[in-house]
């Protein structure tokens, strides 16, 4: 039974167009079918068929807002599965200058579904612990002082929810953990909204000059990370 289930999951992502659409959705946003079609360079009608297959397999959820329909990753577990498969694919040596530069950008800072990964993501985990915002004494917990510090930066931490606040996520480029969960997701959301960082459609995250102060408050000195972090 497990073999059959594994084969069915693999079949969903075996199609290059569906795989491209899933990688696009890893940026955490809700996409229209038309946008997914453009990303995969296929007809909208074909993209709609692929979305149906992804929906039936539990990979994506359909969201309606007024007259508009959107598609997004069904839940963080699906995002992690796609992320890990993408990581495995990107372990191959990049070919050409463009691919190499893209790999460097993703290695330095990228979104892993809805939280920070790469060099910056790992540094954020270390900084939050060093500043006492996150405690590791009994698992990963957000401290009262940490909740206050995040609130001071405008980071809205959910009070309740099914998703864990903090969870370790192995970073494929750093081979160390970065943080996943509701808190890191809230940090990235705030960073994007405040203009501290920008994201492109290939999941690379670019830090802006305004990121220096808030990231320092989170225990991250961006000037020490290398890779021309602030631009």
Of 27, 48, 78, the residue at which a domain comes to its end is: 78
Mean pLDDT check: name the lowest of 44-48, 80-84, 95-99, 168-172.
95-99
- Range of the structural domain that residue 61 is part of: 2-78
- CA-based R_g, the chain, Å: 18
H-state helical runs in the chain: 2-14, 16-25, 33-40, 44-56, 76-90, 96-108, 118-130, 144-152, 182-193, 212-217
- CATH code, domain carrying 10: 1.10.10.10
Please tell me what DSSP assigns to residue 111.
E
Would you call 140 exposed, middle or buried from its count of C-beta atoms within 10 A (0-12, 13-18, 19+)? buried
**Does the pLDDT of residue 173 top 70, yes or no?**
yes
If DSSP codes are grouped into helix, strand and coil, which group holds residue 230? strand
Q: What is the pLDDT of residue 114?
A: 86
Round to whole Å and give the CA distance between 125 and 72.
27
**In-domain check, residue 86:** no
Q: Are residues 191 and 122 in the same domain?
A: yes
Which residues fall within 8 angstroms of residue 221, CB to CB, at 6 or more apart?
A: 215
Please state the pTM of the whole predicted model: 0.70
Determine contact, residues 124/222, Cβ cutoff 8 Å.
no
Q: How far apart (Å, rounded) are the C-alpha atoms in residues 82 and 76? A: 10
- What digits encode the pLDDT tens for the residues 122-165? 999 999 999 999 999 989 999 999 999 999 999 998 877 778 89
According to the model, what pLDDT value does residue 99 have?
A: 46
Both 132 and 214 in a single domain? yes
* Mean pLDDT value of segment 168-191: 89
**Closest residue by Cα to residue 139 from 166, 175, 171:** 166
| DSSP type of residue 175 | S
State whether 124 and 204 are in the same domain. Answer: yes
* Total residue count of the chain as it appears in this document: 231
So what's the pLDDT on residue 95?
42
- Shared domain for 146 and 198, answered yes or no, is yes
Q: What angle do CA 224, 228, 229 make, to 5 degrees?
A: 70
Vertex 192: Cα angle to 188 and 193 (nearest 5) = 115
- Whether residues 70 and 110 share a domain: the answer is no
DSSP state of 31: B
38-94 pLDDT per residue, tens = 988 999 999 999 999 999 988 999 988 777 889 988 887 788 788 777 666 554 444
Those residues with Cβ within 8 angstroms of residue 214's Cβ, 6 or more apart along the chain or in another chain: 153, 191, 194, 196
Give CA–CA dist 57/8, Å, rounded: 9
For residue 84, tell me if it sits in a domain: no
Answer whether residue 230 is part of any domain.
no
Looking at every residue in the chain, the average pLDDT score rounds to 84
For the chain, the domain total comes to 2
| Beta strands, E only, 25-98 | 60-65, 68-73
Alpha-carbon gap, residue 152 to 148, rounded angstroms:
6
Is residue 106 domain-shared with residue 192, that is, in the same domain?
yes
């Amino acid at each position: 039974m497990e073999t059959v289930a594994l084969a069915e999951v693999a079949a969903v992502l075996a199609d290059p167009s569906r795989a491209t659409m899933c990688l696009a959705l890893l940026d955490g946003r809700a996409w229209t079918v038309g946008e997914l079609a453009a990303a995969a360079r296929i007809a909208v009608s074909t993209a709609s068929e692929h979305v149906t297959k992804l929906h039936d397999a539990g990979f994506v959820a359909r969201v309606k807002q007024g007259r508009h329909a959107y598609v997004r990753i069904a839940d963080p577990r699906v995002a992690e599965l796609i992320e890990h498969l993408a990581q495995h694919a990107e372990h191959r040596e990049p070919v050409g200058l463009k691919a190499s530069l893209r790999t460097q950008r993703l290695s330095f800072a990228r979104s892993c579904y809805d939280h920070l990964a790469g060099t910056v993501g790992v540094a954020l985990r270390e900084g939050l612990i060093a500043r006492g915002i996150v405690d590791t004494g009994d698992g990963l917990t957000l401290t009262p002082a940490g909740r206050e510090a995040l609130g001071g930066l405008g980071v809205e931490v959910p009070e309740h929810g099914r998703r864990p606040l903090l969870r370790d996520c192995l970073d494929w480029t750093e081979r160390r953990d970065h943080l996943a969960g509701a808190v890191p997701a809230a940090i990235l959301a705030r960073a994007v909204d405040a203009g501290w960082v920008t994201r492109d459609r290939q999941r690379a995250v670019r830090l802006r000059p305004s990121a220096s102060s808030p990231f320092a408050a989170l225990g991250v000195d961006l000037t020490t990370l290398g890779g021309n972090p602030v631009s």
